[in-house]
């Protein structure tokens, strides 16, 4: 899977996690396979280098995770439905990705703003969290490592997920 395809998968998982708050770690790992295998999947052009750097450098904190968790719980309680995968042909930047996520349901931008995120930061935080979760899972099951672009994973975020495994699992399991 090309790097931009991995971002789309992570983004899809991030929006689903926000909307449902019920994605298990195992599901987060199994989801990329159908996308990668789909012969009609059109991979978007590579993201700009600045976007790639921002993904790599984004650092999860207790504050960010707390706001993501609160937004996820509220989205679930509000009945925001699962979001479709982003239209790869229309994604040329993180802003495009964020705009698609925000346009999917009119309640999402309100929720994002309520919890102090810009649409772009919200997408970055979710991608960072999903990449770190996938990296932790790939360490436990090396067969999953093909679903992850290691160059986009921030080691601090892996440590964050490892240190907060119970909270991450609770968030993804809908608690």
pLDDT in tens, 96-140: 989 988 998 999 999 999 999 999 999 999 989 988 998 898 888
Q: Quick one: what percent of the chain has pLDDT higher than 90?
A: 36
Local structure of 84: helix, strand or coil: coil
- Is residue 58 over pLDDT 90? yes
Q: How many residues does the chain have?
A: 175
Question: CA-CA distance, 154 to 85, in Å (whole number)?
Answer: 24
CA distance 5 to 61: 26
- pLDDT at residue 14 in the model: 53
Give me the sign of the Cα torsion angle 36, 37, 42, 45.
positive
DSSP state for residue 80 in the 8-state scheme: P
pLDDT at 26 over 90: no
Nearest to 143 by CA among 57, 29, 63: 29
pTM of the model: 0.75
């Amino acid at each position: 899977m090309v790097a931009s395809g991995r971002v789309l998968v992570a983004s899809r998982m991030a929006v689903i996690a926000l909307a449902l708050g019920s994605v298990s770690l195992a599901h987060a790992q199994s989801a990329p396979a159908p996308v990668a295998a789909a012969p009609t999947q059109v991979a978007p052009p590579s993201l700009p280098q600045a976007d790639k750097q921002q993904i790599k450098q984004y650092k999860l904190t207790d504050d960010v995770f707390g706001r993501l968790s609160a937004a996820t719980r509220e989205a679930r309680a509000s009945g925001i439905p699962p979001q479709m995968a982003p239209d790869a042909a229309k994604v040329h930047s993180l802003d495009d990705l964020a705009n698609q996520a925000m346009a999917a349901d009119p309640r999402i931008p309100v929720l994002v703003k309520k919890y102090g995120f810009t649409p772009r930061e919200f997408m970055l935080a979710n991608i960072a969290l999903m990449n770190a979760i996938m990296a932790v899972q790939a360490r436990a099951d090396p067969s999953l490592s093909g679903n992850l672009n290691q160059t986009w994973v921030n080691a601090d975020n892996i440590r964050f997920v490892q240190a907060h495994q119970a909270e991450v699992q609770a968030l993804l399991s809908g608690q």
